[in-house]
Structure 1
Amino acid sequence: MTPDGLRSELDRLAAEVEEMADLVCDRLRLALDALVEGDERGARVVLNGDGVVNRQYLDIERACTDLVALRQPVAGDLRFVVASFKIITDLERIADLAVNLASYALSADREVLPEVNLGDIGALAIRMVEDAVDAYVRRDDGWLCHEVADRDNELDALCAHASNVVVRTLIEHELDDDDLDADALADDVSVLFLTLRDLERVGDHAVNVAARTLYMATGSDELIY
């Protein structure tokens, strides 16, 4: 049985991880809106706010270290602390990807890019992160964790389809004297490929969160890879 003092500290740790996840998802939404709608102010909020996420990461890392060193949790409690540390590492990397997306929003001209539904792709990636964190907070013992992992296949398929659309558009596109500058188009298409890559990576980190949550709750490592 977990002592009351340790239980309260574990509950506080879970709340801090959830708070960090909420902030990271908010930054992802701002970056996605910047890409889709051209919201330059939102992009700069993401770019200028990365330090806040990094400080949260360090604070929670310290809390995890203190819990292990001072409270010496065992069994399920130890798995919870270790999983929390692994999860905030994935959240911090998702925040870095949001910074990437915000920087792409400032550098690309969306009007010259092939038509790709970044909004739907990004929304799916964000929902995966939210559901993975919800599974962690609820200490889900399987269903939601597997649901997040299964949706990664959908996200990968959407990213692959979007990439194919871009390639097909470029093949079919014939530049003439009155058309867009070829170098500028190539630069913007490169940004689009990087955007799709980073959205796919957001999904991968969401699966990592789900995998660690499943291990935390059940001891099963079937989603860890």
Structure 2
Amino acid sequence: MPRRDYQDQLDALRQDICDLGDDVADRLAVTLACYEREDTTAASAVRDGDGEINQRYLDLESDCIDLVALQQPVAGDLRLVTASFKILTDIERVGDIATNLAAYAEDAPFGYAELNLVDLGLVAHEMFERAVTAYANGDVEACREIAARDEELDAMCTEVTDRVIRGLATASGRADIERAAEDVESVLMTVRDVERVGDHAVNVAARTLYMVENDDELLF
């Protein structure tokens, strides 16, 4: 195969993965809007669209495998394909999380607005968007900044978790305790998944840094 066609395949793979990442980021934004507006109308659309994301993931995974098997890339090209394969998986996982959050939103205890769950989600969403952009542009400085931002997100998630558990501890009476426990479970699952979005953003950044500079400092 001519070199130009091979390079076009590499460029198309990267662009298609970025497009998938952008669409997943949009789905996550729609879900967060459900929490912000205390409106679950759009949540079902996010859940219904998960099958399309999964199929695109499988198609792109197949493209990665074909490039390795048929073109036998080496050096920088091999790092691009292998990093893209890993990044693709993280993007698909964020798509799954957006679906999970959409399901939680349908039964969300919106009375917990003071916990700033939307603020948590917006930080994670920004990290993920920046990670996809960093992959698109080969921006290694952004990769390191995303990894540093994850510490802030983790601290925010820990604070919210502590506040929720303290709230449960102050509940009195069987009915209040049971109701509080159900709300706490929903909030904690939301916080856990938001934190996981940040983790996947760091994974994308780590693989991008490795892809561009052969630097594994963020991989472990």
Q: Helix, strand or coil for the counterpart of 2:106?
A: helix
Instruction: Tell me the distance in 2 between the aligned counterparts of 1:107 and 1:169.
Output: 19
Matched, 1:167 2:162: no
Amino acid at match of 1:203: G
Instruction: Tell me the distance in 2 between the aligned counterparts of 1:148 and 1:65.
Output: 28
Following TM superposition, by how much is the alpha carbon of 1:107 offset from its aligned partner in structure 2, in angstroms?
1.8
Q: Is the 8 A contact 2:28 2:125 kept in 1?
A: yes
Instruction: Tell me the distance in 2 between the aligned counterparts of 1:174 and 1:181.
Output: 6
Q: Helix, strand or coil for the counterpart of 2:43?
A: helix
Aligned length: 219
Q: Please name the residue that 1:7 is paired with.
A: 7
Q: Please name the residue that 1:135 is paired with.
A: 134
Q: Where do residues 7-86 of structure 1 align in structure 2 (5 Å cutoff)?
A: 7-86=7-86
Q: Please name the residue that 2:122 is paired with.
A: 123
Structure 1, 72-81 or 101-110: larger mean CA deviation? 101-110
Q: Is the 8 A contact 1:44 1:102 kept in 2?
A: yes
1:204 to 199, 202, 210: 199
Q: Please name the residue that 1:192 is paired with.
A: 187
Instruction: Tell me the distance in 2 between the aligned counterparts of 1:189 and 1:39.
Output: 20
Q: Please name the residue that 2:217 is paired with.
A: 222
Instruction: Tell me the distance in 1 between the aligned counterparts of 2:170 and 2:200.
Output: 35
Instruction: Tell me the distance in 2 between the aligned counterparts of 1:190 and 1:121.
Output: 17
Runs of 4+ in 1 over 6 A off after TM superposition: none
Instruction: Tell me the distance in 1 between the aligned counterparts of 2:18 and 2:81.
Output: 14
Q: Is the 8 A contact 2:171 2:177 kept in 1?
A: no
Following TM superposition, by how much is the alpha carbon of 1:114 offset from its aligned partner in structure 2, in angstroms?
6.6
Following TM superposition, by how much is the alpha carbon of 1:115 offset from its aligned partner in structure 2, in angstroms?
2.1
* Structure 1 unaligned regions, length at least 5: none
Following TM superposition, by how much is the alpha carbon of 1:109 offset from its aligned partner in structure 2, in angstroms?
2.7
TM-score normalised by structure 2 residue count: 0.94
Matched, 1:96 2:100: no
Q: CA RMSD in A?
A: 1.7
Q: Please name the residue that 2:145 is paired with.
A: 147
Q: Is the 8 A contact 2:165 2:184 kept in 1?
A: no
Following TM superposition, by how much is the alpha carbon of 1:175 offset from its aligned partner in structure 2, in angstroms?
5.0
Following TM superposition, by how much is the alpha carbon of 1:174 offset from its aligned partner in structure 2, in angstroms?
4.2
Q: Is the 8 A contact 2:168 2:184 kept in 1?
A: no
TM-score normalised by structure 1 residue count: 0.92
